[in-house]
Amino acid sequence: MLSATSLEPVRARFERGVTSNQPLYRDIAKRGFDLAVAGVVTLTVLSWLLPLLALLIRLSSRGPALFVQVRSGRNGRQFPCLKFRTMTYNPGAEFKQAEQGDSRVTPIGRILRKTNLDEMPQFLNVLAGHMSVVGPRPHPLPLDAKFWHVMPGYKDRYKVKPGITGLAQSRGARGETREDHQMKLRIRYDRMYIHRQSLSLDARICWWTVKAVFMGNKNAW
């Protein structure tokens, strides 16, 4: 289980030689990085992966291949977040976080969630300017409503664009947040990233995320 102490090795690593964020990086270099990575991934991977996975999802269960959920972006602006559908189709269902052994998750959905492939359509969100490749993960609106005014530092996550992946996710602070301490740990990672963001840190987080695809993601169900 993750704890506050698990942040310390990461914090120490970032304190050595990682500069704080600069306006030029936030406004120009980061957008250039986002467009370059999202453009390459869209042309070389998503162009064939999207129709292939869409076909498999449609053949394995009833419903659309893509799941579109409104989420909060930078400064709380809402946008349509794209994902491959990983659960049984039930448009009228109330929001409930996925939990271990969740019966709603389809067999192919379990693979997609474990490997982060369900997030691949969000590269289109990056191209549209809704998201960055790296940043705090956007939460469903019911989670925002629950924590926005009561969890210290929660709103700070939305000072930057949300990301397909982030420091919290790459270090294992992802998935269900049934207990407050799980959300507090995620917020600490997110605020650390916002304070220390740089092009090199974004590249490292992308590498950690790719490694997790092959090594398995903790708390992904």
**Letter string b/e over residues 104-125, b meaning 16 or more CB atoms within 10 A of that residue's CB:** ebbebbbebbbbbbbbbbbbbb
Dist CA 203 CA 32 (whole Å): 13
Dist CA 163 CA 121 (whole Å): 12
Cα four-point dihedral sign 62, 67, 68, 70: positive
Looking at residue 73, its pLDDT comes to 92
Residue 71 Cα distances to 24, 61, 103, 142, 144, angstroms? 27, 25, 24, 9, 9
Where exactly are the structural domains of the chain?
A: 4-213
Q: What is the DSSP string of 79-112?
A: EEEEEE--B---TTPPP----TT-TTB-HHHHHH
**Residue 152 DSSP SS3:** coil
Would you give the end-to-end CA distance of the chain in angstroms? Answer: 15
Looking at residue 18, its pLDDT comes to 40
CB 165 within 8 A of CB 206: yes
Looking at residue 219, its pLDDT comes to 58
Ranges of H-type helices in the chain: 8-15, 23-24, 30-41, 47-60, 107-115, 122-128, 141-147, 167-170, 180-196, 199-215
Segments of the chain scoring below 70 in pLDDT: 1-26, 175-176, 216-221
Looking at residue 96, its pLDDT comes to 76
Looking at residue 81, its pLDDT comes to 96
pTM for the model stands at 0.81
